[in-house]
Amino acid sequence: MIIDFHNHFYPKAYLDALRSGSSRVQITIDDEGNPRLHYPGDYNIAVRGHRDIAYRESVMQENNVDRQVISLTTPGTHVEEPEMAVRLACLVNDGFAEIARNSKRFIGIGTLPLSDPAASAKELDRVCRQLGFCGAMVFSNINGVALSDQRFWPVWETANDLAAVIHIHPTSPVGVEAMKDYWLMPLVGFPLDTTLAAASLVFSGVVDRFPRIKWVLGHLGGAIPYLVERLDRGFHAFKECRENIDRPPSTYLREFYYDSVNFDGRALQLAIDFAGANHILAGSDYPHQIGSLDKMFSSIAALKISEADKEAIRSGNAARLLVRD
Ligand SMILES: [Zn+2]
């Protein structure tokens, strides 16, 4: 059994709404007939797997993927004016709920209109209580503002009340102007922005203040497992790092979950050694060009850990997270 916790889909109603013209995202069609979503600083190609659910089911069947927790991906709804963001997030979430109703293969995880934090808190409550989602996927910064910023605390308060999952997924990072060549933005900027988001949430005291939130970091947490010793050293060295928390960052970050979308066995092993096999979630990043269903399977299979731990990574940990307490 495998539950793929990190992969993406654009519901039809969302793409239709973007085409209506009142969005900041512009759509063009590429040479292969795929819509291209253009937004400030970047674009995404919506290949068939991103937008054709029947095709996607056939791909899953061929590749023995039992279930996928589908989330939106960049650009997200926060790039829009608040009113449009609220409308789009609702369309996406209702679209995911409908897909999940029609096929046991799919489970939705919410998207939030984070350019409007109050509306985001309400939408999180709706997707959890009415649509039965376990929580939401949020981006690693919101138009340059850190997730730890106090304006987002109403969202974390609601997430805490709901004991919701908050999956942090990268987006255009701060400092993106230094990443224009060689796809450095997704290759370097994305994982580092996730790292920055997680460290800031911990040092700001957000994680301490809202302890029931189940935080999940994309791409094995960026560099978190590798850098955590340095974060702890900062905690001991600098009084500013102790202003909002009274125990080392590693003690919080060990409680986080990490999706396996970094297919290097040594990186995976480091994350397991740090957070435990019971905190790693199988993920593919399908159908992005940089994602891989094959590597999701092979990287886990090659780990030198017990079969029970591999099963936990493949599906047991995700199954536990998908049920709200
Ligand atoms: Zn992704």
pLDDT computed for residue 117 by the predictor: 98
Q: E strand or H helix at 289, and its extent?
A: none
Tokens read off for 25: 């995202």
- Domain for residue 15, yes or no? no
Per-residue pLDDT reduced to its tens digit, 120-177: 999 999 999 999 999 999 999 999 999 999 999 999 999 999 999 999 999 999 899 9
Ligand 1 centroid vs 323 CA: distance in angstroms?
A: 22
Q: How many C-beta neighbours within 10 Å does residue 62 have?
A: 9
**Residue 117: cis peptide before it, omega within 30 degrees of 0:** no
Ligand 1 centroid vs 261 CA: distance in angstroms?
A: 8
Ligand 1 centroid vs 324 CA: distance in angstroms?
A: 23
Residue 59 pLDDT > 80, yes or no? yes
- Domain for residue 293, yes or no? yes
- Domain for residue 40, yes or no? no
Ligand 1 centroid vs 238 CA: distance in angstroms?
A: 34
pLDDT computed for residue 40 by the predictor: 79
> Mean of the pLDDT values across residues 67-72?
98
Q: In one letter, which amino acid is 152? A: F
- Domain for residue 29, yes or no? no
Ligand 1 centroid vs 260 CA: distance in angstroms?
A: 11
Ligand 1 centroid vs 169 CA: distance in angstroms?
A: 6
Angle subtended by helix axes 265-275 and 293-301, to nearest 10: 60
pLDDT computed for residue 324 by the predictor: 79
> Mean of the pLDDT values across residues 176-185?
92
- Domain for residue 104, yes or no? yes
Residue 91, φ and ψ in degrees, nearest 5: -60, -45
Ligand 1 centroid vs 75 CA: distance in angstroms?
A: 11
E-strand stretches of 40-109: 42-45, 67-71, 106-108
| Cross-strand bridge partners of residue 35 | 29
pTM to 2 decimal places: 0.97
Q: How confident is the model at residue 25 (pLDDT cuts 50, 70, 90)?
A: very high
Ligand 1 centroid vs 71 CA: distance in angstroms?
A: 8
Question: Among 5, 25, 4, which Cα is nearest to 16's?
Answer: 25
Tokens read off for 54: 């029947």
Ligand 1 centroid vs 205 CA: distance in angstroms?
A: 26
Ligand 1 centroid vs 231 CA: distance in angstroms?
A: 25
- Domain for residue 41, yes or no? no
Q: Measure the CA dihedral 142/193/42/14, to 10°.
A: -50
Q: Which domain holds residue 282?
A: 3-10+48-321
Question: Among 56, 50, 66, which Cα is nearest to 15's?
Answer: 50
Residue 325 pLDDT > 80, yes or no? no
Per-residue pLDDT reduced to its tens digit, 209-247: 999 999 999 999 999 999 999 999 999 999 999 999 999
pLDDT computed for residue 42 by the predictor: 84
Would you call 285 helix, strand, or coil by DSSP?
coil
pLDDT computed for residue 150 by the predictor: 98
For the chain, what is the mean pLDDT? 97
Ligand 1 centroid vs 221 CA: distance in angstroms?
A: 12
Q: What percent of the chain has pLDDT over 90?
A: 96
> What CATH number did the domain enclosing 248 receive?
3.20.20.140
Q: What angle do CA 86, 123, 69 make, to 5 degrees?
A: 105
Ligand 1 centroid vs 237 CA: distance in angstroms?
A: 35
Residue 201, φ and ψ in degrees, nearest 5: -60, -35
- Domain for residue 38, yes or no? no
Tell how far CA 162 is from the center of its chain.
18
Q: Which residue has the tokens 């094995």?
A: 220
Tell how far CA 317 is from the center of its chain.
16
Quote the number of domains for the chain.
Answer: 1
Ligand 1 centroid vs 244 CA: distance in angstroms?
A: 31
Ligand 1 centroid vs 222 CA: distance in angstroms?
A: 12
Ligand 1 centroid vs 127 CA: distance in angstroms?
A: 20
DSSP 131: S
pLDDT computed for residue 41 by the predictor: 77
- Domain for residue 82, yes or no? yes
Q: In one letter, which amino acid is 34? A: N
Residue 107 pLDDT > 80, yes or no? yes
Ligand 1 centroid vs 121 CA: distance in angstroms?
A: 23
Tokens read off for 126: 């709706």
**Terminal-residue alpha carbon distance, the chain:** 23
> Mean of the pLDDT values across residues 287-314?
97
Residue 294 pLDDT > 80, yes or no? yes
Ligand 1 centroid vs 258 CA: distance in angstroms?
A: 13
CB contact at 8 A, 255 and 198: no
> Mean of the pLDDT values across residues 4-18?
97
Residue 281, φ and ψ in degrees, nearest 5: -120, 130
